[in-house]
Structures are given as structure tokens and as C-alpha cells.
Structure 1
Amino acid sequence: MSSHISNVRPAPDQVIVDIANYVSDYQINSDEAFDTARNCLMDTLGCGFEALDYPACTKLLGPVIAGTVVPNGAKVPGTSYQLDPILAAFNIGAMIRWLDFNDTWLAAEWGHPSDNLGGILAVADYISRKNLSEGKAPLTIKDVLTAMIKAHEIQGVLALENSFNRVGLDHVILVKIASTAVVTKLLGGNKEDIINAVSNAFVDGQSLRTYRHSPNTGSRKSWAAGDATSRAVRLAWMTLQGEMGYPSALTAKTWGFYDVLFKGNAFKFQRPYGSYVMEQVLFKISFPAEFHAQTAVECAIQLNAQVGSKLQTMEQIAAIDKIVITTHESAIRIIDKTGPLDNPADRDHCIQYMAAIGLLKG
């Protein structure tokens, strides 16, 4: 009995081919993009260093087996750890994202493109140390900045018109896709390798947003991006050992990403890949709070100058009838909460808490 299902492998999905072509062939010529990437690198490292003051973060860092040091391994900035690049990517990625202070991209899908630095820095450092041990030239900072610009672009352009949160998926899927593409290139992969690695990233299990929303908000949101960029390094590494890819990972009927996880819809694109995202990315300079609460916190801090002196005792605070916040749908869906706040992740994703702190403390 014939199933009439063709077993002829199709050409790779064009979405994946476009990513591979961009990473392999596109030349970044934008001074603005490189200058922003340099500032982004410093800002992101600063976010990571600050996270080292928090035991909740540092307890997750280091080798799986205490005392392990990997020859020519990647250094974890601010620590004594020298790890394999897969684990180093998790360590660096978790540090970067822990406090929710690094850069932001807002579109149909939001996210933090500098999360990709977990994989980029780990792999670049490993390659450089290995090259030096073999008498070869290390990578340069320009190589790192170029990888950053391209990772930002892949994540940001995919996010412009495609809402992953609307189907329950966390935005760290875009970190996995972008990191996989640029890390495969850094490791010496060619265009075919990038296609294979990115296809594996799409068929991977993808993170749900459960840990970002009431009543389950928790600390996983602080290490989810580290997990994604670390997974990207692993997939790139496996690909360069000869592991195969899956050409219609997105479009395969019934079993592809679109049918299984995207309600049968294909990705939409507003613009080709270039350097737009790095040039336009947002930094949390004024108010290091969840970005949908930025304006609420700004207003609360300004109002503190007017009412802060009247909010010095519990009796004065209890006299407040109500506080009205007018905001947008995304903020209400993500950070509008009532009831007890159980952990730091709960608090920094609660617009009521953030506004209250601004009103009380300025």
C-alpha cells in the first residue's frame, strides 16, 4: 500500500537560506552600526558584571563539576571560570540578562538582541585562545562587533512582523536562531553549515512564556536567553562535526515549524537584512526597568517630586484612594498584576510595583 508521500528532500527553506546568505556574504559598512555595537558591547558587559553581585545568579555559574578548567577554554568575564564554549555561553548569557537591564528591541515581538553575546563572546574567546596556542592569529574585536551586528539584525528583522508571544513562545527562540547562525560562521562554517545549523535550531524544542507571566513569573526568565545562546553553540558545534540539517524545517506539511508552532502561518518580512537593528536598538539608560513600564516609571519619578513628601508613613500611603496608570495592551498582558509578588522576577515584571517604587523613592 503506497502512502503517496514523497521522500525526495526539498531545497532548503528560503527563510533559512536568506539568513545563511546574509551571515556568509553581507559586508557591514555602517559606521553607525559599528559605533553602536561598540557601545552595546560595553553596556552589555556592564550589565553582566552588575549581576555578579547577586547570589541568585552566581549560584548558576561555573563548571558543572567544581574545579574543572578547560584548556584554551572561554573565560567568563568577571570570574575565574574557564569553560568549554557551550557552558561559557550559558554563563555569559545568564549574567547579561539576569537584571533585565541590557538592550531592547520592540516590534511585533520584543526581545534583547545583546543576549546573543553569550554565544558570540564564548566562541570568539575560545577560537582566539586556541589559535594563539597553535601560533595563529586570534579573532579581532571587529569580528566580534560584526557578529553582534548580524545577530542583532537576524533577531530584530524576524521580530518586526512576527509575534512569537502570540502563539505562546518566548522571544529567546530568536536568540537561538540568531546565535546559531553567527556562531556557526565564527567556528568556520560555510553557507551550507549555517543552513543545517539554523534548521536544527528551528526544529528544536522552543521555550514557552510560562515563566514570564502571572502566576508563574520566575527566575528562569533571567537565564532563558543564556540557555538559548548556549544551545545555539551546541547546535553549531554538532553541525561542524558533520551533523545533518532539515531543509524544510519551517515549511514541512504537518511536521514543520509553521504548522506545529505558528498556526500554519509563514513568517512575514518588512525589510531585508542589513544593519538597521543595531542602528535603532534601544538602551535602558534612564530607567532600567522592564521596557513596557518605562513611561510609567518616568511619570512616577516625576510625580515623586510633587507628592513624595506626603508618602512618608504607612498612614499616609494608606490614605491613597487609587493610582491610575494608562498604558498599552502589551504592558497589561505582560506586567499587570495583583496579589503577592513572590520573587525578584515577579517584582520587575509588575507595573504596579515599579510605579509604586518610583512614587515612593523617586
Structure 2
Amino acid sequence: MSNERTMVEQLADWAHKADWNQLSNDAKEALKGRILDSIGTAIGALNGEPVKNIRRMTKDLGGESIVTLIGGGKTTPDYAAFYNGAAVRYLDFNDSYLAKEETGHPSDNIAPVLAAAEYADTTGRDFLLALAVAYQVQCRLSDVAPVRKHGFDHTVQGAYGAAAGAARAMGLSSSEIANAVAIAGTGYNSLRVTRTGELSNWKGLAYPNTAMGAVHASMLAKYGITGPREVFEGNKGLMDSIAGDFAIDWEKEDLEKVTDTIIKRFNAEIHSQSAIEGLLEIRDRENIKPENIKEVRLATFDVAYNIIGGGEEGGKKLIRYKEEADHSLPYMLAAAYLDGQVMPEQYEPDRIKREDIQELLQKVTVKPDESYSSRFPDEMACRIELETNGGQIFDVEKRDYQGFKTQPASWDVLMEKYNGLTPGIDSSLASKIADTVKNLENVNISALTELLGQIKFGEDESYA
């Protein structure tokens, strides 16, 4: 097989040849929207305890001052990818991509591709193009090679996307891109236990760790290290070991998958969004006092039930801390009803432990509905019923929510979310960051990273 182009080499050829003019205007705007959204979620997470701990670790470990950390300071590209990726991911408020059997968060690729782009001192246009490559690879592999049912995490597909995007941003050759993707794909096959049962900090750090590895793999490839050419189709490769047979004709791939990703309206696991929106509609319409609620019943699609509703990935009514709360439909629905929103403050330790929310979440029941399951991922359909102590039943049926691909979030909607997440930083700096993102194809990537390095937030205001 040595003279035949393997699948990873075909992917690398496609990534290397990718051209700015292939991107539609919708894709370009979607990429910038996802960047704005992710920077906002990262800034909003800078005071999160795990994020602060990783910052402290990064500072203690040191490393050459090459790539910017959000919030100031510089470190090596791989360390920066991990820290910035942790900030983007911690709130669990960034974008999602829904395949039939796999859900991922492709904006997790922003941190590694940004680190690679800054390292290479590239243009904003080249960064956007490389990010489109990363999105396309992760999303297409999620379509054809789901791994959750085999006990592996969605970060498996992400390893290929992050490495392809980072290697492209660094300006590597086709053969070097192939090696980077092969190394990352071979090395980062994470277990799904990350998101089942009793959840830990690792839920928000598994992809940043994969992203760090993808940047490291790209560096290795740049310095001549090779990876398995048959990482996909070879003996004990991805197909043989985990995913089963699949095919992608990379020559025919475009760069438009970013337009199929969706934005979170609420700071909650993606499959909860339509249910939360629906319950808030009942709340606003009927004004029923929480103490008068007998039961909240949710019928939803099987993916939501299995991941966050108490199905195959474990019970969701013993809620003690953030990682459990933001992956529990009972908790998120209770929070929405009691507080009228689900934002970062709904995951503060004091809020989670309070009696009102702990009592109401026990009154939420979730069950799968086959008719709704058959409509996923084209719809996020569900039905919510609220029954009062007096026996009255109020209900609403949903097929989507504001931010879903049927109701895409406009720049103004994204700015509203961004402004809500960034009140802790200088307002003029926040505006400059947003304006730079909106104009990113016309500036050098350093125009953005220099601004991200000026952010001063929280207890640790210095890095040097």
C-alpha cells in the first residue's frame, strides 16, 4: 500500500489545498460568529476554579513566551492551546454540532488553531481558513464515524480536526499535515467515562487536552516526526479498533460545515436548549408559583434522555457541583423555572445546594419519545408538561430554539451574549475585541491576540 495515497494523506492533500475563495460568505460570517462566541465564553470563565488552577500550573511550568494566554502572559503553543481551550470550554457555553449519533463542540478547535496561527504569525484570513478545515474534519468524522456507542468520547474525532487545522495554520506541507493528523489521531482516543456517571473537572478539559496534543503533534510533524499512514484504515487503526468502516471522499469536501453548527442560548448542555426555552415559555405565560408545581414532565429525543436525562449515561438527580448540574436536565429545568434563566451564576456552589432547586429538580421526570428521536438532529423536538398541585396541566411542544440551525443567531444576538459574559473586563477593550473579530479577514492574527493579552480579570492580574 506504500504507493497508494492513504485516507490521512488524502485528507492532508485537501487541507493543504484549501483556499479562502472556497468559503461562502455564510461560512465566513459563521466562523467569525463562533470566534466571538467562544472568546466571550472564555472571558466569562477566567475566574472558574479549574481555569485558575491551570493558569497557575502554566505559570509555574514556564516555557518560552511565544503564544498569548487569554488574560495576559505568554507560553508555548501547546500550553496555550490547553489553557485557552480550558477557558473556552469550562462554562459549557460554546457551540455544538449535532450528528445522528455524535455531538461535539467544534469551537474547541479555536484554541489550538489560534495558538498555531499566532506561532506562525499568520493573517486573520489564514486563521479563519485553517479553522474551517478543523470544523469540517471534526464534523464530517462525527457524521460517518460516531464513537460514543463504542465507549469513546467525541474528542476522538476532534483530534483529527484540531491537528488538521493547527498544521494548516502553521503552513505545513501536505505530508507534514498528514503526519500531524496521524500522530494526533493515534494518540488521543479518550474514553466516554469523561461524561458518564459522577462527573469531574475532566468533562471540560478532555478536548483542551486533545487540542494541546494536536498542537504538539503538529510541532512534531514540523520537525520531521512521522505518524502511522494508515491511522484510519490500517490494521488496528480507527476503523478496525473503534469506529467500523466508513468513507469520506476528501477531494469532494467543501468548507461549509461550520454553517451547520449551533449556538447555545442558555448556559446548559446543548440537548437541553429547546426544553429550557419551552419551560420558560410556560413560566412566563402562566406565572405558576414554584411551590404549586406537582411535576414537570419532559418527553424528548433519545440522545438528550441518554446523556442528560437519566438514561444510559447515569442518573441526573444527585447534583452536588457544576459538572453534574450542567449535564442534568432536572437541574437545568429547575434552575430555569426558579431563576428565569440558565447562565453561569446558576452553577455557583451556593445556588446548586439551595433547598428550592434541590426540591424542584426531584419533581422533574424525563422520558424518551420515539417520534422526537426520529426527528433528531434536524430538529431538537420535545414536549414539556407542567402539572400543578391542583391538577391543572400546562404544556408546550418545541421543535427548535433561538440559536438552532433553523433560527441562526445573528451577530446582534451573539453580541448580546458576548456582552453578558464580559462585564468584568474593560468595556472599550471588549468592544475592540469584538470589532477585530468582525474584521478578522483583513488584519494579522496578532491584532486579535494582542487584545486578548490585555485582558485583566479576577484575582490574578499578572502573569510575568
Question: Taking structure 2 as the reference length, what is the TM-score of the superposition?
Answer: 0.67
Specify which of 306, 309, 316 is matched with residue 333 of structure 1.
Answer: 306
Aligned position for 1:131 = none
Match of 2:257 among 277, 283, 290: 277
Q: 2:188, 2:213 within 8 Å by CA — same for their partners in 1?
A: no
Distance 1:50 1:308 in 2: 31
CA distance in 2 between counterparts of 1:204 and 1:269 reads 21
1:230 is aligned to 2:212? yes
Q: Deviations over 1:282-315 (max 9, x none)?
A: 111x32321111111011111212454422xxxx
Rounded Cα–Cα distance in structure 2 between residues aligned with 1:302 and 1:116: 34
Is 1:245 equivalent to 2:239 in the alignment?
no
Task: Give the whole-Å Cα distance in 2 for the aligned partners of 1:117 and 1:85.
Answer: 13
1:155 aligns with 2:133: no
Instruction: Name 1:42's counterpart in structure 2.
Output: 36
The structural deviation recorded for 1:26 is 2.2
Counterpart AA for 2:273: Q
Which has the larger displacement, 141-150 or 196-205? 196-205
- Distance, in Å, in 1 between the alignment partners of 2:12 and 2:242 is 22
Instruction: Identify the match of residue 50 of structure 2 among 53, 56, 71.
Output: 56
Give how far 1:61 is off. Answer: 2.0
Aligned to 2:239: 258
Q: Is the 8 A contact 1:104 1:111 kept in 2?
A: yes
- Give the drift of 1:268: 4.1
- Check whether the contact 1:160–1:270 (CA below 8 A) recurs between aligned residues: no
Q: Distance in 1 between the 2:4 and 2:211 partners?
A: 27
CA contact (8 A) 2:163 2:217 kept: yes
Question: Which amino acid in the other structure matches residue 225 of structure 1?
Answer: Y
1:38-59 Cα deviation digits (max 9, x unpaired): 1221111111100013223221
Shift of the alpha carbon at 1:81?
Answer: 2.3
Amino acid of the residue matched to residue 303 of structure 1?
A: I
The alignment partner of 1:323 has SS state of strand
Alignment of 1:1-362 (within 5 A): 9=2, 11-14=4-7, 16-29=8-21, 30-62=24-56, 64=58, 66=60, 68=62, 70-71=64-65, 73-77=66-70, 79-108=71-100, 109-128=102-121, 139-213=122-196, 215-253=197-235, 255-262=236-243, 265-269=244-248, 272-284=252-264, 286-311=265-290, 316=291, 320-336=293-309, 337-362=315-340
Q: Distance in 2 between matches of 1:267 and 1:159?
A: 11
Amino acid across the alignment from 1:122: A
Q: Secondary structure at the match of 1:179?
A: helix
Change (3 A) 1:67 1:191: closer
Structure 2 CA distance for partners of 1:28 and 1:328, relative to 1, 3 Å: same
Instruction: Note closer, same or farther for the CA distance 1:280–1:260 as it changes in structure 2 (3 Å cut).
Output: closer
Give the TM-score, by structure 1 length: 0.86
Conserved? CA contact 1:116–1:229, under 8 Å: yes
One-letter code of the match for 1:360?
A: L
Task: Give SS of 1:321's match.
Answer: strand
**Structure 2, unaligned runs of 5 or more:** 310-314, 341-464
Deviations 1:83-122 (A, max 9, x none): 0001000011111111111111101321111111111111
Deviation at 1:274, TM superposition (A): 1.1
CA distance in 1, matches of 2:192, 2:285: 38
Q: Identity, % of aligned pairs?
A: 25
Q: Cα distance, 1:70 vs. partner?
A: 2.1
Aligned in 2, Cα 1:35/1:205: closer, same or farther, shift over 3 Å? closer
Structure 1: 5+ residue stretches without partners: 1-7, 129-138
Query: Residue 20 of structure 2 contacts residue 125 of structure 2 at CA under 8 Å; is this kept in 1?
Result: no
Distance (Å, rounded) in 1 between the aligned partners of 2:145 and 2:230: 19
**Does the CA contact (< 8 Å) of 1:52 and 1:95 recur in 2?**
yes
Contact (CA 8 Å) 1:62, 1:91: kept in 2 or not? no
User: Does structure 2 conserve the Cα–Cα contact (< 8 Å) formed by 1:211 and 1:219?
Assistant: no
* Matched position secondary structure for 1:201: helix
- RMSD of Structure 2 on Structure 1 (CA): 2.0
Answer whether contact 1:51 1:95 (CA < 8 A) is retained: yes
